[in-house]
Each structure stands twice: as structure tokens, then as C-alpha cells.
Amino acid sequence: MLEITWATLKRIAADQVEEIYKRALLLERINAIGPVGRRTLAASMQLSEREVRAAAESLKEEGLIVLDTSGMQLSDDGLKILPEVRKLCRNISGLFDLETQLKARMNIPNLVVVPGDADVDRLVMVELGRATAQTVLSVLKENMIIAVSGGSTMNEVARAMTPGPGPVMVVPARGGFGRMAQMQADAVAGELAQRVGGDYRLMHLPEGMDAETLQKAAKLPGIRATLALMRNADIILFGVGRSDDMAQRRSLSLSMRRQLQKAGAVGEALGDFFDIKGRVIHQSPTLSAELGVGKPDALSIMSAAGAHKGEAVLAAVRWHPPWALVVDEGLGRAMLRLLDQEELQEDQHK
């Protein structure tokens, strides 16, 4: 059904459209986190248990979900219609229009926006991971090399991966930093490889070393072999962070943090700190610079969530325009507001 049709329906039957949308969102959320109980589902969707119970009973009567002691999950029929349900949600919520605007204004070939805002609901990360994994699988071919960074977003992507078309190789896109072992690029690469049915090579190398030590480490046999794969990566999969958050996670000195702030740094990806225009302000010593140097046509897939990352991701797109960008609704709308503000300022200065 066309988006304009839904706009008209909202005007003549707003309550009914709202109920349809609620049930569609329930199906999406149950698929993402099921089996799930009513209380957990209600809390995650900011609905009352009564509303969830009524909608769930209707969906059960239609044979779209099943309820047992473990909670609610989609039936086979529910899984079959899930792609259409997702399209329905996008049309009603205006996500299709948001995607269209962002693609055109940022000149990105492929852009996906998932419902919600991870700043408000962390379960949105599950859907973001699924959408990013599907984007990877849509282009993944036998014997390809995937380079993946670390972090909470990439961890969700790895967990959402399903078996691919054949043997592939997965390598980390950067060294390790921070305290959470499961979020390190090595750990994410291993998880992703196991889920997709591929092999993997690890870096076993922390970031934060000086350039000279890094160059020496790169000559070690195990590191050298992984680097060779990184250089020939077909798909580069990575997240984006705010400059202030990443400076803290990377344990940069207070003086360096002040320099970054003074220079206007807003985002970080793969060791590069950049301003809102995408200009690199600081490069941390990292082996990420080797990514895809042997494959100029490598596909880069950027994924991030949360409205608080608006400036960071807009800057990252300008830093290195990705082949595909996957964001949540909160982040997408924050980026659109920033673009509108920039356009208004430009008009005022003409």
C-alpha cells in the first residue's frame, strides 16, 4: 500500500491505523527478542500490559504468534508475513520517507532506518543488528573477506548473522581497546565467523601503542597474515562513536581530549577523529589504515544508533562516504535536523 494511502487513512480512521501499527510493531519486537513475556514486551514498547495482552490475543487468534510457558514468539505464519509487516511499519511511521531524504541529501547508495531510538530503548539495538546483518548478507558471496570493528553495535550485528552462501573469511578491522572482552574486534570477528559459517583470523594486538611499536608488531608472522587479509577485505563493517566517548574509551590524555574538543572533533571511526565536515583532526596509531588498500572497490557498511550520535555519524559519512548506512530512527531524525540547520544557516549567509 502506498504511503500516501496511509496518510489519508490516518485522517479518516486514526484509531484503527494506530491499532494496526501497534500490532505490526508487536510482531517485529516479538521476532527480535522472543520468546518474551507480556511484562517485558510492554516495558520495551512503553505500553501497558493490558494493551499488550489485547493485541497479543488478537494476533494469536489469527495464528501469527504462539504463547507458551517461555513467552510469546512468532508462528510459522507470522514469520512468513514478517517482511510485509516491516514494510507496513516503515510506511505508517514515515521511515521510508526519512530514508529517501537522507539518501538524497547525503548521497548514500544504500540506507536503512529501523524503528525506535536506542537512547530510549536499548532493545532497538537488536533490530539494528538484524538489519545490518541482512545488509551484509545481501552482498556476501563465497570466499569473500569481511573486516569488522568492535563495539556494542558490531557485537549485535555479529549475534544477528545467519549462515552465508559458503566459506568466507572474517578478520578484525582494528586492534583492541577498552575493558569488555566480548566487545573487542577480535571477539566480534570470531562470533560473526561462527554465525555466518566462515573461518576467522585474529589480531591479538591492542590499540594505543606508539607508531614505532605498531610497525614492529605488524612484522610478526601472525599479525602479518591477518594484515594481508585486511588489505584485501571485500566488506568493511564498522561502527561510529562520539569523539568525547571514544577519547575516554581509548584512554587518551586530558591534554589530547582538550585539543580534540578545541579543534571541533565530533566523531571517531577506525582510529580517526574528525570534525562535522569530515576533516580528520587526529589519527590514533592503528592498523585500520590498511583496510581495503588492495581492494579499492571494497564495500563499506556503517552502522550506528541513538540520537546522541547525530553529529558523529553525519561527520563520519562526510569523512568516508559508505556504500551502506544502517541507523535507527532516533539517529536518522537527528541527522536530518542537523542537515536542515546547516541549510538554514547557509541561506542566511547568502
Domain range spanning residue 28?
A: 3-93
How many structural domains does the chain have?
2
Long-range contacts of 177-185 (CB under 8 A, 24+ apart): 177/206, 177/207, 177/208, 177/249, 177/250, 177/251, 178/150, 178/249, 178/250, 182/155, 183/150, 183/151, 183/152, 183/154, 183/155, 184/150, 185/148, 185/149, 185/150, 185/154
259 shares its domain with 169: yes
Polymer length in residues for the chain: 350
48 shares its domain with 176: no
89 shares its domain with 135: no
78 shares its domain with 100: no
More confident residue, 151 or 349: 151
CATH, residue 27: 1.10.10.10
Cell of 181: 572482552
Interatomic CA distance for residues 228 and 59, integer angstroms? 51
**What pLDDT band is residue 210 in, cutting at 50, 70 and 90?**
low
Q: What is the pTM (predicted TM-score) of this model?
A: 0.84
User: Could you read off the pLDDT of 35-65 as tens digits, one per residue?
Assistant: 999 999 888 888 899 999 999 999 999 999 9
pLDDT(16) > 80:
yes
332 shares its domain with 281: yes
Interatomic CA distance for residues 322 and 237, integer angstroms? 10
158 shares its domain with 234: yes
pLDDT(179) > 60:
no
DSSP 63-93: TSEEEETTEEEE-HHHHHHHHHHHHHHHHHH
Cell of 176: 583492541
User: Could you read off the pLDDT of 318-345 as tens digits, one per residue?
Assistant: 999 999 999 999 999 999 999 999 988 8
Structure confidence at residue 162 (pLDDT): 95
- For 224, other C-beta atoms within 10 Å of its C-beta total 11
8 shares its domain with 18: yes
Mean pLDDT of 300-318: 98
pLDDT(33) > 70:
yes
176 shares its domain with 301: yes
**Which of residues 40, 75, 93 is at a domain's end?**
93
User: Could you read off the pLDDT of 239-288 as tens digits, one per residue?
Assistant: 999 999 999 988 889 999 999 999 999 999 998 999 999 999 998 877 77
- For 309, other C-beta atoms within 10 Å of its C-beta total 28
**Which of residues 61, 93, 125 is at a domain's end?**
93
pLDDT(234) > 90:
yes
Grid cell 583492541 in the structure block, residue = 176
pLDDT(1) > 50:
no
**Which of residues 75, 93, 111 is at a domain's end?**
93
**What pLDDT band is residue 18 in, cutting at 50, 70 and 90?**
confident
56 shares its domain with 148: no
Element spanning 324, H or E = strand 324-328
CB distance 126 to 315 below 8 Å: no
89 shares its domain with 99: no
43 shares its domain with 127: no
CATH, residue 203: 3.40.50.1360
Structure confidence at residue 182 (pLDDT): 65
154 shares its domain with 84: no
